[in-house]
A and B are shown apart, each in its own frame.
Chain A
Amino acid sequence: MTKNGMGAAVLRKEDYRFITGGGHYVDDINRPNQLYAYIVRSPLAHARITAVHTADALAVPGVVAVLTGADMAADGIGGLPCGWGIHNKDGSPMAEPGHPPLAADTVHHVGDQVAVVLATSKAVARDAGELVGVDYEELPAVASLEMASAPGAPLVWEEAPGNICFDWEIGDRAATEAAFAAAKQVASIDVVNNRLIANAMEPRAAIGEYDPGMDEHTLYTTSQNPHVIRLLMGAFVMGIPEHKLRVIAPDVGGGFGSKIFHYAEEAIVLWAAKKVKRPVKWTADRSESFISDAHGRDHITHAEMAMDENGIFLGLKVSTRANLGAYLSTFGPSVPTYLYATLLAGTYRTPAIYAEVKGMFTNTVPVDAYRGAGRPEASYLLERLVDRAAKVAGLDPIEIRRRNFIQPDEFPYQTPVALEYDTGDYGAAVDKALALGDWDNFAQRKEESAARGKLRGIGVSTYIEACGIAPSNVAGALGARAGLYEAGTVRVNPTGSVTVLTGSHSHGQGHETTFAQLVTEALGVDFDSVEIVHGDTGKVPFGMGTYGSRSAAVGGVALVNALEKIRTKARKIAAHLLEASEDDIEFKDGKLTVAGTDREVAFGEVAMAAYVPHNYPLETLEPGLEETAFYDPKNFTFPAGCHICEVEIDPETGVVNVVRFTAADDFGRVINPMIVEGQVHGGVAQGIGQALYEQCIYDDSGQLLSGSLMDYCLPKADNIPDFDVTTNVTPCTHNVLGVKGCGEAGAIGAPPAVINAVVNALAEYGIDDMPMPATPERVWQAIQSASK
């Protein structure tokens, strides 16, 4: 292993600025002469705007402008586009209503943008915002999937009868029905995947700026993918060509999916900045984030598993309703379809699968990807259903999984729901998790808990996910409206230091470290002489950003391909300098050597020769040492693993504590084990959050009841245990790094493991169901109902 190279637990380069207060987040940036934006938002879930009164606000000293949806429409600003088109069962396209950044005639959810106040200070803007009078004619609203699906329910959009955006299907219905007809036993389950709010610790913010002399627009924004924002906002909303729009996403304080999407505020500040000819800055309050950041999950599902007499899975049918919110967010429709139902084979050989998904509109904040995005919903459903199936079949939950696993010699494995898994060893991950989690001695720990009056339960999940998003041609055939490649540039500077430009974006993942490790590994240069540049379309020409655990598997591979080009050119230069044949040049540990001799040049000398080409093969080789590679993956990657959770429940209070959590994950080859472990910790914590603490609640009028951090329970340090984490590596077969991605696994594998453990703990009460989050009240009520 190269020191600081692939596989080394290198400490992070980026940490110094963060631990000394030297980070540069969007709200830390101020532009000369900037104004502050306050956004007037709808207090109603559904209403017609009959008038907007701005005079009182405009009279406040310091207020420069109050702009409305009508102003925006008059300027020809387009609607926020949806990046993914889904088709109905009959082949017709989904309903796709418009999404103006500022609503001009109708608001569709609490928090919908109505007007923007621009003033010389935050406080003045907010004061004046309170004086903007909006006359509303309230309309009936639907605040949940149940309300939206009720017969005669009010419509969110006239063009979506029944509030149905799409009615989509995947799999072979006839084959699945035949499997059920042949089944000896059937397990069924109804699950709700609770609605969540990502709550990255940094609230969203944006600064728009316009330079009339150059006709250049600049947007600073809290984004996971500035190039995607450039594409969507430039092409669809503002009509600005790429070369006149620079999008900068500097240090970003967490994303978890919620900062993928193109948001209204980004368009509003840039449009407003051009209009008033001053930079415009907007920073969300946390409470504002709750009603304007895209939410996640929110499914209702019924599923059945057909089995033979031995508990072998024969067929799976799934019917899901998915809440899309009031508007289609950037990737909203793809999450409950191609990122969800394609994962319903799980790690199992289920030969026939049929799933239908109704995407539904409600008068709530748009729903889109949140850590895992569709895959946690699939994993939760399947892993809860498999536990049910174990019960029906009279099998141990581990045994039924082992009987149905796709075996290591069956790869590549084509599932009945579109995906082809390249590699894996699910049984080996189970073995590792069982050993690390001391599964065999659980009964003893249960007794110890019982002696303290506590109920102890153990639960398992053997999840799979599709990551490394995505092969563009496949995604395109499935409805994606953009490419999903990644680009990387390696610029070797004349003195031998290396600058990398990557389209991947780090908002906590540590790319400045892991990508530098890849450079060190390939070129043998000093780790400290590598700089990773990301998050600025003015510096990095192209990219697609970070989501779907794609940075290493797509961005990392693009970088490695660019590094290989550098190595090739460096060999040519060295061959010239050493007067040898290129074929005889070995490139190792930062030195280029003529094989079998002691004649060598350091990589730094090659770099210098490339830029000071006095002794250089100019007839056949360009000077300079900079290479770019674009990489489009051949397939998704398929991280998988086994998570085991143990809980203790106090039957007197219903409080559930996770007391032990074990994860054995297959992420393929690992670049930096310290960082990978940290990603698992964070993902599992969010998974425990979903299972035990977090829930987004609307009342029937569409008011968000869980609208602040006082009402929405994020896991705290004393709610979460230490985790035991290990890996079981089967390298990805179709990328040169062998990596699969690790960012989302915890949030995917943990929720079913936790709930399976809770149900296991409550088994003695005859309880076999528990909705997420398993709050003390729900658990206590279940125990009381069962005790009666």
Chain B
Amino acid sequence: MPTKVSLMLNGEAVSAEVDARTLLVELIRDKFARTGTHVGCDTSQCGACVVHVNGRSVKSCTMLALQADGADITTIEGVASNGELHPMQAAFREHHGLQCGYCTPGMIMSALDLVKNNPDPDDREIREWLEGNLCRCTGYQNIVRAVKAGAEAMRSGE
């Protein structure tokens, strides 16, 4: 039976009818047409689908849409404000932290949650935190650089 789910998506109140089995990532991509959140696997390994649910990073393929009823959700589309890139987004570009771009939204969303809890992570902490986000293009080095630079920019911006 389709059930109505209502939530805040990037600051906008939205609602849709979903099946009990509909995943949060399917709701975001298929019903709300925010396609920046990607699906790279079916076993919760890759992290391409990471979004923020009530401020915490979550793999949106491992959560049912119904569980997000009433939640405040931020996707990659909601990170920049007024056309201005978030410092973490800018850092990924500045440090060539992406190639094909497919893992990038999940990487950025995951990195933002890391920095929220650890404003000055070292390389090891960044690498361990990103263990749940796979990238096949970059060899991770420039992602680590980008997250470090993004964190620094976020600190100095506050």
Contact = CB atoms under 8 A, between A and B. Distances in A.
Nearest to B146: A19
Contacts of A714: 45, 134, 136
A509 interface: yes
Residue from B75, B100, B133, B137 whose CB has the most chain A CB atoms within 10 Å: B100
B38 A202 contact: yes
A21 B139 contact: no
A408 B154 CA distance: 50
Nearest to A18: B101
Contacts of A123: 19, 21-22
A338 to B, nearest CB: 27
Contacts of B99: 254, 508-510, 678, 682
Nearest to A287: B42
A675 B96 contact: yes
A608 B151 CA distance: 47
B143 interface: yes
Interface stretch (A9-17, A45-53, A387-395, A432-440): A9-17
B141 A723 contact: yes
Interface in B57-95: 75-77, 79-80, 85, 89-90, 92-94
Contacts of B108: 19
Given A199-B136, A681-B139, A717-B126, A252 B41 contact: no
B144 interface: yes
A313 to B, nearest CB: 33
A708 B103 contact: no
Contacts of B102: 23, 25, 200-202, 253-254
B43 interface: yes
B131 interface: yes
A718 B131 contact: yes
A20 B42 contact: no
Nearest to B45: A709
Interface string A669-683: 000001101100111
B46 A286 contact: yes
Interface residues of B, number: 57
B133 A717 contact: yes
A372 to B, nearest CB: 14
B128 interface: yes
Interface in B101-145: 101-105, 108, 123-124, 126-128, 130-131, 133-144
A715 B127 CA distance: 12
A24 B29 CA distance: 12
Interface in A507-537: 507-510
A456 B127 CA distance: 22
Nearest to A689: B136
B141 A253 contact: no
Contacts of A720: 127, 139-141
B63 to A, nearest CB: 17
Interface string A184-203: 00000000000000111111
B144 A678 contact: no
A27 B26 CA distance: 12
B93 A15 contact: yes
Contacts of B48: 201
A18 B137 CA distance: 14
B36 A27 contact: no
Contacts of A746: 139
Nearest to A712: B45
A23 B40 contact: no
A253 B38 contact: yes
A690 to B, nearest CB: 13
Contact of B43 (A12, A17, A256, A287): A287
Contact of A21 (B75, B130, B143): B75
Given A25-B38, A123-B21, A674 B139 contact: no
A287 B41 CA distance: 7
A708 B139 contact: no
A775 B92 CA distance: 32
Contacts of B89: 19-20
Contacts of B135: 201, 717
B149 interface: no
A17 B76 CA distance: 11
A788 interface: no
Contacts of A286: 40-43, 46
Interface in A16-41: 16-25, 27-28
Contacts of B141: 681, 720, 722-723
A375 to B, nearest CB: 19
Nearest to B143: A717
A717 B101 contact: no
Nearest to A200: B136
Contacts of A508: 99-101, 137
Contact of A15 (B38, B79, B92, B137): B92
Interface string A627-656: 000000000000000000000000000000
A316 B140 CA distance: 38
Interface in A353-371: none
A16 B138 contact: no
A11 B36 contact: no
Nearest to A714: B134
A675 B93 CA distance: 12
Nearest to A721: B141
A714 B79 CA distance: 28
A285 interface: yes
A710 interface: yes
Contacts of B77: 20-22
A256 B93 contact: no
B35 interface: yes
A568 to B, nearest CB: 35
Contact of A718 (B39, B98, B128): B128
B34 interface: yes
Contact of A716 (B35, B76, B104, B131): B131
A682 B85 contact: no
Given A200-B136, A286-B46, A686-B136, A681 B142 contact: yes
Nearest to A688: B139
Residue from B96, B98, B131, B136 whose CB has the most chain A CB atoms within 10 Å: B136
A614 to B, nearest CB: 40
A684 interface: yes
Interface in A408-463: none
A201 B136 contact: yes
A19 B93 contact: yes
Contact of A20 (B39, B43, B79): B79
A509 B43 CA distance: 28
Contacts of B143: 717
Interface in A673-706: 674-675, 677-678, 681-686
A708 B39 contact: no
A545 to B, nearest CB: 15
Contacts of A465: none
Contacts of B46: 201, 286, 709
Interface in B11-28: 19, 21-22
A19 B126 contact: no
Contact of B127 (A198, A507, A710, A718): A718
The list of the 6 closest CB pairs from A to B, nearest first, reads: A21-B36, A18-B101, A253-B102, A508-B100, A685-B139, A681-B139
26 contacts: A12-B93, A15-B101, A17-B101, A21-B35, A21-B76, A21-B105, A23-B101, A201-B100, A201-B134, A201-B136, A202-B38, A286-B41, A508-B137, A510-B99, A674-B96, A675-B96, A678-B138, A685-B139, A685-B140, A708-B43, A709-B41, A710-B43, A714-B45, A718-B124, A718-B128, A720-B139
Interface of B: 19, 21-22, 29, 34-43, 45-46, 48, 75-77, 79-80, 85, 89-90, 92-94, 96, 98-105, 108, 123-124, 126-128, 130-131, 133-144
Given A202-B100, A286-B41, 19 more contacts: A19-B89, A20-B77, A20-B85, A123-B21, A199-B136, A201-B38, A201-B40, A201-B100, A201-B137, A253-B101, A510-B99, A681-B141, A682-B139, A708-B41, A709-B46, A717-B126, A720-B140, A720-B141, A722-B144
